[in-house]
Amino acid sequence: MKKTTFAILLAMFVMVTATSADTLHLRSGANIEGTFLGADTRQIKFLGPDGQPKTYSLTEVEGIAFAAMSAPAAAASKAPAPAATPPAAPTKVTVPAGTLIFVRMLDSLDTSKTQTG
């Protein structure tokens, strides 16, 4: 009984995943169906049909077509939007001199190309 239920749930998951796939369009003309995982300034991470995540350079990619929303999400998005509230004023913070602040950057700095200032 458990195996049958698991098989049915797995089949349903595969069908839902297959029908809501994103499409990665490469400059070579190839189209890859899968799931967009993320991107940065140099590359795109995409989960292909084989279930393995792959990284593509932005120079290889022509575009990405995202899957349409599911019916419940589309119906929810057609509901009237609540009145927009103005954004909150930014919070001002004073950092004491000598405090260490850790910064995480996407790109590395090359001192042969980057100058002070």
pLDDT, tens digit, 9 for 90 and up, residues 64-91: 888 775 555 445 445 555 667 777 777 8
Among left, alpha and beta (phi > 0; psi -120 to 50; other), residue 29 is left
User: What is the structure's pLDDT at 56?
Assistant: 93
The architecture (CATH level 2) of 21-66 comes to Roll (2.30)
Domain segments of the chain as ranges: 21-66
Average pLDDT (19-41) is 85
What's this model's pTM, rounded to 2 decimal places? 0.43
Average pLDDT (49-71) is 83
- Whole-number Å distance between alpha carbons of 5 and 33: 28
Average pLDDT (81-105) is 79
User: What is the structure's pLDDT at 90?
Assistant: 78
Q: Which among 25, 23, 61 is positioned nearest to 42, based on CA atoms?
A: 61
